[in-house]
């Protein structure tokens, strides 16, 4: 009961919050007034319904209840028994099951009583829904049972025994459309308190608000505050199944190409790469630092002759940024490989990898993409079988031809990257491309200079829809050259702080190159979701450490 009261208090609080738009700005006075009216109307309706229900209850209490063994609240499941009785998955139901009696657990998504003899219930398992009907009769389903069913809160978990029957008309509002369930028994496994927002509101596309501005809009911050509820939407189920897909496709390709998976430490004794944006950790009586990337370690693995390595792991950036594409913690898809002659051998592998991921997402996740598009419509991601590879000077020329002022050795800012993405899309019809040969000065000290073009380097970024998703390069594999570049870095890096890394190259090191993909970015840009927090289960930024 305390839980329910908490829930109601919370919902009131939330209503205040959700009248803010996605951008955090309050709605107009007119819209607020309209909202207020709607609320009052609803309240009156509810009061009337409560009065009617009380009267009905008084009447019903007088009549005998012949359904007592058919409904009720189950005790907390502590694994008392294991009957092994088959539970049915809603997704498997079709006309071939007609007349069968099935047992299943599901969420009660909505309950819509008509009169006091019928209750139309939508049951949900994951993203699959079916309609169930409870009908009062003379011998099995009592009025009391009907009343109980109407009182089950939305999102409660229920155990249902039901007969599969042909739907009188196609149930267009559910996933399962040809059959429906005639409820014979109905028990609550786990009751839900009132939600801080409805899943319906949380799944609404933007265009609905254009049609009806009074609809409740759930701000991103509100969703993230109640992430376990927000994650129940069909959209989020689809997004995070595709996140699994990104990792699966990444591994699949690299394993086929003999890469070895590695796990490198996240607690470091020294802040590498100059020490900017590094989180500090109290480590017994010392200070440790959280890894910003597995860079040094994956390179050390190359000096240990593992030849081709990959890692899927969390990395940490103490960057005080609230941008749509930065988080303080994210999943880095890292790879590094030795080559024989030229770092383009590595770029060729990465090209194959990215095409494998993009193709895999497109072909294996058609259902998920369709679900996501309902809430967040987007243009299909375009890519080529053999990816476009531009050099930095070529990109600079494209920008200049389009009227952007740009120096030969300038770093590209986010806005310029976006423009470049649009120009590339127009000219080459691809949302994915590789940009090779970055100016040396804008890359980390361990980047190999291009010997043929002074001021440039053997380094590259990959772009999706005009945003960077991978950064990589041929690395300096010669210890003396590496130390020199560290010392000449701006600001200089004290070689003693990275001694084990430098030392690793003293014992014969093969030429090698690598790169790292941001997992959440790849997914955000493939789906054009506009905010990286939408592709991270529990995102972290300077203002968010919870839930």
Shortest distance, position 47 Cβ to a second copy, whole Å: 25
Cα 362 to Cα 244, 245, 367, 380, 383: the distances in Å are 14, 10, 10, 9, 11
Radius of gyration for the alpha carbons in the chain, expressed in angstroms and rounded: 29
- Of 304, 321, 366, 414, the one binding a second copy by CB under 8 A: 304
Site for a second copy in 4-33 (CB under 8 A): 6-7
Which letter, b or e, does each residue of 122-137 get, where b requires 16 or more Cβ atoms within 10 Å of its Cβ?
Answer: bbbbebbbbbbbbebe
SS3 364: helix
Residue with tokens 């594409």: 325
257 is catalytic: no
- Of 107, 223, 521, 534, the one binding a second copy by CB under 8 A: 107
What's the full length of the chain, in residues? 547
- CB of 135 within 8 A of CB of 168? no
Q: Is 144 or 536 the residue whose CB approaches a second copy more closely?
A: 536
Q: Which stretch binds a second copy (CB under 8 A): 12-20, 228-236, 389-397, 422-430?
A: 228-236
Q: Which stretch binds a second copy (CB under 8 A): 38-46, 223-231, 414-422, 426-434?
A: 223-231
**Residue among 188, 184, 175 nearest 130 (CA):** 175
326 is catalytic: yes
- Of 237, 257, 364, 484, the one binding a second copy by CB under 8 A: 237
Site for a second copy in 528-547 (CB under 8 A): 536-538, 540, 542, 545-547
Taking each helix axis from N to C terminus, what angle separates 414-428 and 392-401, rounded to the nearest 10 degrees?
Answer: 90
Shortest distance, position 535 Cβ to a second copy, whole Å: 10
- Of 307, 384, 423, 442, the one binding a second copy by CB under 8 A: 307
Shortest distance, position 331 Cβ to a second copy, whole Å: 5
241 binds a second copy (CB under 8 A): yes
Shortest distance, position 195 Cβ to a second copy, whole Å: 6
Number of neighbours of residue 240 by Cβ within 10 angstroms: 16
39's enclosing H/E stretch is helix 29-62
Q: Is 57 or 537 the residue whose CB approaches a second copy more closely?
A: 537
**Residue among 255, 252, 283 nearest 267 (CA):** 283
SS3 219: coil
Tell me the site size for a second copy, rule CB under 8 A.
119
Site for a second copy in 313-372 (CB under 8 A): 313-314, 316, 318, 320, 328-329, 331, 340-345
Residues 6+ apart with CB under 8 A from 397: none
Q: Which of 22, 161, 184, 319 is catalytic?
A: 319
Q: Is 49 or 545 the residue whose CB approaches a second copy more closely?
A: 545
Q: Which of 70, 217, 317, 443 is catalytic?
A: 317
What phi and psi, each to the nearest 5 degrees, are found at residue 17?
Answer: -70, -45
Report CA torsion sign: 344, 349, 352, 354: negative
Shortest distance, position 244 Cβ to a second copy, whole Å: 4
Shortest distance, position 21 Cβ to a second copy, whole Å: 24
Number of neighbours of residue 257 by Cβ within 10 angstroms: 15
Rounded to whole angstroms, how far apart are CA atoms 514 and 332?
A: 13
Contacts 24+ apart (CB under 8 A), 32-38: 34/213, 34/214, 35/214, 38/214
> Across 69-156, where does the E strand assignment appear?
71-73, 101-114, 118-125, 128-135
Rounded to whole angstroms, how far apart are CA atoms 188 and 128?
A: 19
- Of 146, 243, 375, 416, the one binding a second copy by CB under 8 A: 243
DSSP β-bridge partners for residue 390: 435
- Of 72, 126, 275, 352, the one binding a second copy by CB under 8 A: 126
Site for a second copy in 259-298 (CB under 8 A): 260-270, 279-284, 286, 288, 290, 297
Site for a second copy in 136-165 (CB under 8 A): 155-157
Beta-sheet pairing, 308-316 with 388-391: unpaired
Residue with tokens 């804008």: 442
Instruction: Please confirm whether the linkage preceding 547 is cis (ω < 30° from 0).
Output: yes
Spell out, one character per residue from 510 to 529, where the chain touches a second copy: x when CB under 8 A holds, - when not: xx-------x----------
Q: Which of 521, 533, 534, 536 is catalytic?
A: 521
SS3 383: coil
Q: Is 143 or 534 the residue whose CB approaches a second copy more closely?
A: 534
Site for a second copy in 58-87 (CB under 8 A): 76-85, 87
Q: Is 449 or 466 the residue whose CB approaches a second copy more closely?
A: 449
- Of 70, 143, 232, 533, the one binding a second copy by CB under 8 A: 232
521 is catalytic: yes
Q: Is 444 or 466 the residue whose CB approaches a second copy more closely?
A: 444
Q: Which stretch binds a second copy (CB under 8 A): 33-41, 311-319, 427-435, 464-472?
A: 311-319
Q: Which stretch binds a second copy (CB under 8 A): 221-229, 392-400, 405-413, 423-431?
A: 221-229
Site for a second copy in 379-418 (CB under 8 A): none
Q: Which of 56, 227, 237, 326 is catalytic?
A: 326
Site for a second copy in 422-481 (CB under 8 A): 448-452, 458, 474, 476-481
**Residue among 345, 350, 359, 315 nearest 470 (CA):** 350
Shortest distance, position 375 Cβ to a second copy, whole Å: 16
194 is catalytic: no
Beta-sheet pairing, 467-474 with 308-316: unpaired
Structure tokens belonging to residue 93? 């139901």
- Of 46, 52, 200, 255, the one binding a second copy by CB under 8 A: 255
471 is catalytic: yes
Q: Is 246 or 525 the residue whose CB approaches a second copy more closely?
A: 246
Structure tokens belonging to residue 71? 């409904």
Beta-sheet pairing, 179-190 with 71-73: parallel
Shortest distance, position 462 Cβ to a second copy, whole Å: 18
**What residues act catalytically?**
317, 319, 325-326, 468, 471, 521
């Amino acid at each position: 009961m305390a839980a329910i009261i908490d829930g109601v208090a919370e919902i009131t609080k939330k209503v205040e919050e959700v009248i803010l738009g996605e951008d955090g700005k309050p709605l107009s006075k007119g819209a607020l007034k309209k909202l207020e009216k709607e609320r009052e109307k609803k309240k009156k309706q509810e009061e009337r319904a409560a009065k009617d229900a009380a009267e009905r209850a008084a009447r019903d209490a007088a009549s005998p209840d012949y359904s007592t063994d058919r409904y009720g609240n189950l005790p907390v499941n502590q694994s008392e028994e294991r009957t092994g009785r088959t539970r049915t998955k809603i997704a498997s139901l079709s006309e071939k099951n007609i007349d069968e009696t099935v047992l299943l657990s599901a969420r009660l998504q909505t309950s819509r009583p008509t009169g006091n003899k019928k209750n139309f219930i939508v049951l949900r398992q994951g993203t699959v829904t079916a309609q169930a009907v409870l009908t009062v009769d003379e011998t099995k389903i009592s009025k009391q049972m009907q009343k109980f069913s109407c009182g089950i809160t939305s999102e409660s978990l229920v155990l249902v025994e039901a007969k599969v029957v042909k739907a009188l008309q196609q149930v267009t509002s559910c996933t399962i459309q040809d059959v429906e369930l005639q409820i014979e028994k109905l028990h609550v496994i786990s009751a839900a308190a009132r939600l801080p927002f409805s899943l319906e509101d949380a799944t609404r596309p933007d265009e609905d608000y254009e049609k009806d501005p009074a609809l409740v809009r759930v701000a991103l911050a509100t969703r993230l505050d109640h992430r376990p509820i927000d994650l129940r939407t069909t959209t989020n189920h689809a997004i995070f199944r595709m996140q699994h897909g990104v990792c699966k496709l990444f591994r699949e390709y690299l394993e086929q190409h003999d890469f070895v998976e590695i796990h490198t430490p996240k607690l470091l004794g020294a802040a590498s790469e100059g020490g900017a944006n590094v989180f500090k950790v109290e480590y017994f009586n010392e200070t440790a630092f959280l890894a910003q990337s597995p860079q040094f370690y994956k390179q050390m693995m190359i000096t240990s002759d593992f030849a081709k390595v990959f890692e899927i792991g969390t990395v940490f950036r103490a960057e005080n940024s609230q941008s749509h594409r930065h988080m303080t913690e994210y999943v880095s898809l890292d790879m590094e490989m030795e080559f024989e002659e030229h770092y383009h051998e590595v770029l060729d592998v990465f090209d194959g990898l990215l095409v494998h991921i993009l193709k895999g997402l497109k072909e294996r996740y058609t259902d998920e993409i369709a679900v996501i598009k309902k809430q967040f419509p987007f243009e299909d991601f375009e890519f080529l079988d053999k990816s476009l590879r531009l050099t930095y000077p070529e990109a600079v020329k494209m920008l200049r031809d389009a009227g952007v002022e740009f120096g030969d050795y300038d770093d590209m800012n986010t806005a310029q990257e976006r423009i470049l993405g649009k120009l590339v899309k127009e000219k080459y019809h691809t949302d994915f491309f590789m940009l090779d040969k970055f100016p040396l000065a804008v890359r980390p000290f361990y980047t190999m200079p291009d010997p043929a073009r002074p001021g440039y380097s053997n380094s590259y970024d990959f772009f999706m829809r005009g945003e960077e998703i991978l950064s990589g390069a041929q690395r300096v594999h010669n210890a003396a050259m590496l130390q020199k570049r560290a010392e000449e870095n701006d600001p200089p890096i004290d070689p003693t702080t990275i001694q084990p890394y430098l030392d690793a190259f003293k014992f014969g090191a093969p030429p090698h190159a690598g790169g790292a993909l941001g997992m959440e970015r790849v997914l955000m840009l493939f789906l054009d979701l506009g905010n990286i927090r939408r592709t991270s289960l529990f995102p972290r930024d300077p203002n968010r450490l919870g839930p």
